[in-house]
Amino acid sequence: MLPRLPSTESWRDFINEGRQFHKAALGGMKRSEIFTPEILYNLLAMAMEKYIMGLLMYRKNLPDNHTFRDLVDGLRRMEAQSEDYSGPRLTDELAEELLALDAFQEICSVEGYARRPPSEEEILRMSQTCARLKEYVEAGLPSETAMQNGGATKG
């Protein structure tokens, strides 16, 4: 039996939470004495997961899991299955940037748990990826949602 989808409005919570995580990460990038690369990675990863889940929930097309591989696969499936999807298409470049994020935390590996802290340059790239993802996601949502910007726009 397939899980029942949450209420049709709960996708908004995911988008808003994504904005909050994104905003916290952007602020944290200015406070490196407190926000380590590991913390920033987790904030940015949570923001991106929330953005993607919000769009997928809005389109009623949930991913198989929450790794970035599964989230990207979910977006590709959504685009292929949604007859009324009028948003932009996930570019190969953005998809590859998202897939690369799984390399920092291999928490689902059968060989064992592994983490690699990102460098400052990698955090900057992740921030840019998050900003591009936010634009992609908001373009696939109702226009009033994109206008309710939580302040996290620049990467």
Gap between the Cα atoms of 42 and 22, Å rounded: 10
Tokens matching residue 131: 């900003």
Could you tell me the domains of the chain?
11-81+89-147 (1.20.120.330)
Gap between the Cα atoms of 69 and 99, Å rounded: 6
> Which of 17-26, 94-103, 110-119 is modeled with the greatest confidence?
17-26
**pLDDT tens figures, 39-73:** 999 999 999 999 999 999 998 888 888 899 999 99
Residue 92, strand partner residues: none
Q: Is 147 exposed, middle or buried (0-12, 13-18, 19+ CB in 10 A)?
A: exposed
Residue with the two structure tokens 């913390």: 39
